[in-house]
Amino acid sequence: MLRTILSIAGKPGLYRLLSQGRNMLIVEALDSTKKRMPVYASDKVTSLSDISMYTDDDDVPLTQVLASLKAKENGAVVAFDYKKASTAELQEFFAQVLPNFDRDRVYASDIKKLIQWYNILINAGITDFEENSEKEQEGE
């Protein structure tokens, strides 16, 4: 599911991939506006399924981090005021989600962006963070 959810550098929020053209993608904002727009090859576009978080061991895919955050918050929007929180408060909150995250390489801005993305996904009705398409592809 997260394979079609995109982050576009320089543009706030998250976007759903609708279709592909020769040198562009057509995306729709996941916020309440549902605004559609083209994204060109020159834009830096990243699928959420390609993102991972640094830990003390191996990197953890964002899908697992989002699923852990969903379990912590019981599937609801994060009530924690992350915009006004200090770095220590953000790290303490994130340690409850991913206990062994790398405190040197995961910045406060990364934690804020993760919480913001999680809230956007929950508000858009996207609550299935597990990648079942990979399992289906392996079965083929």
pLDDT digits (tens, 9 = 90+) for 69-120: 999 999 899 988 999 999 999 999 999 999 999 999 999 999 999 999 999 9
Task: Read off φ and ψ for residue 3, nearest 5 degrees.
Answer: -65, -30
Q: How many CB atoms lie within 10 A of CB 37?
A: 13
Q: How many CB atoms lie within 10 A of CB 105?
A: 12
Task: Read off φ and ψ for residue 63, nearest 5 degrees.
Answer: -60, -40
- pLDDT of residue 139 exceeding 70, the answer is no
Q: Which residues pair with 80 in a beta bridge?
A: none
- From 26, 29, 10, 19, select the one nearest 121 (Cα to Cα): 29
Confidence (pTM)? 0.87
pLDDT digits (tens, 9 = 90+) for 19-59: 998 889 999 999 888 899 999 989 999 999 999 999 998 99
Per-residue pLDDT, 132: 54
Per-residue pLDDT, 136: 39
Per-residue pLDDT, 100: 94
- pLDDT of residue 127 exceeding 90, the answer is no
Domains parsed from the chain with CATH numbers: 2-48 (2.30.30.730), 51-123 (1.10.10.1650)
Confidence of residue 140 (pLDDT cuts 50, 70, 90): very low
CB of 78 within 8 A of CB of 115? yes
End-to-end CA distance of the chain: 18
CA-to-CA dists, residue 11 to 69, 78, 101, 113, 140, angstroms? 24, 22, 27, 13, 37
